[in-house]
Amino acid sequence: MGDTGPAVSRRAAGVGQRDDEDMTSPSPTKVAPGLTGVPETLLWTLYQRASEAARPNPVLVDPWAIDLCRRIDYPFVERFGRAGGLVAQAIALRALAFDRVVCAFLDEFPDGVVAALGDGLETQFWRLDNGRVHWLTVDLPESLRLREALLPAGGRRRALACDARDPRWAVDAAATGTPVLVTAQGLLMYLRPPEVRDLIALCARSFHGGGLVFDAVPRWFAAAARAGLLRTPGGPALPGMAWAMGADERPALHTVDPGVAEIHAIPVPRGRGGVWGRLAPALDCLGPVHDRVPTVTLLRFADRT
């Protein structure tokens, strides 16, 4: 997992691939999600990824996201407004940053385990499958019911209805005895600060030689969400966010647990256009600005064996 740059893997460059565990065929009837609150946000991220994937030149190839949106009975436009533009590209670029970390892990440990916390309707398995990885989806029961209705687990894909704060999922993931990479995309900001520390410590104690990749929002963004100031174009406010972290706070993660051996800043990939293609990469190296934008971080844990 040392190299997560642009050339890390052909899979992470946006070349999706299907294997013998292909996604299910489109359902004859649409599935009603029945989600509210934080779980409902998985529909928003899916909607944005699908919008970006539908472009002629997407930054993330994700035909499975497009298919899922067609199979869900949900008023996406009325609820979230028109998708696309800078927001859709930002969501896709975040997913691509995570993809590159997972690809690097699988290049190092082809038979490893990816434990995806709050997996929602992510289609990362199909984008990155190397034919050997074992995938554990961990999510709340209501979110997992929707995922299982659309993407039933099987073969090398398993699902566990479990809160990320419940250590049962870590016991399950570690039981294989193979290296584990934990992903937490769009999740930690909804936990309280002590819960985030506890989760990192749990991973450090459970997955020796493994890692955890997560994203964080800056403090101003979390405060605005708690105040109800952030709304989708369709009207609903984003759920409150209890935890935030700026890039300048990364070094403090060493104090969470002695098992946190390495801390890596994962750059958001270069995108398309003036903002994500030129401005964002230029600002990424400026400390004062970087501390006020979302970040992606990879923690590597010490191998104590």
**278 is a domain residue:** yes
Side-chain-side CA neighbours of 243 within 13 Å: the count stands at 19
**35 is a domain residue:** no
* DSSP category for residue 163: -
**CA dihedral sign of residues 214, 205, 128, 163:** negative
Give the CATH number for residue 258: 3.40.50.150
Q: Which domain holds residue 193?
A: 96-301
**What pLDDT shows up at residue 127?**
97
Q: Is 213 helix (H, G, I), strand (E, B) or coil?
A: strand
pTM confidence score: 0.90
**What pLDDT shows up at residue 231?**
77
- Write the single-letter amino acid at 147: R
**What pLDDT shows up at residue 7?**
31
Low-confidence stretches of the chain (pLDDT < 50) are 2-10, 13-27
**40 is a domain residue:** no
**14 is a domain residue:** no
**76 is a domain residue:** no
**176 is a domain residue:** yes
**What pLDDT shows up at residue 63?**
96
**161 is a domain residue:** yes
**241 is a domain residue:** yes
User: pLDDT by residue (tens digit) across 117-169?
Assistant: 999 999 999 999 999 999 999 999 999 999 999 999 899 999 999 999 999 99
Kindly list the distances between the CA atom of residue 141 and the CA atoms of 35, 146, 161, 185, 196, in Å, as whole numbers in the listed order.
11, 9, 5, 18, 21
**What pLDDT shows up at residue 21?**
43
**What pLDDT shows up at residue 6?**
33
Structural domain tally of the chain? 1
Kindly list the distances between the CA atom of residue 226 and the CA atoms of 37, 164, 243, 245, 246, in Å, as whole numbers in the listed order.
13, 21, 10, 15, 17
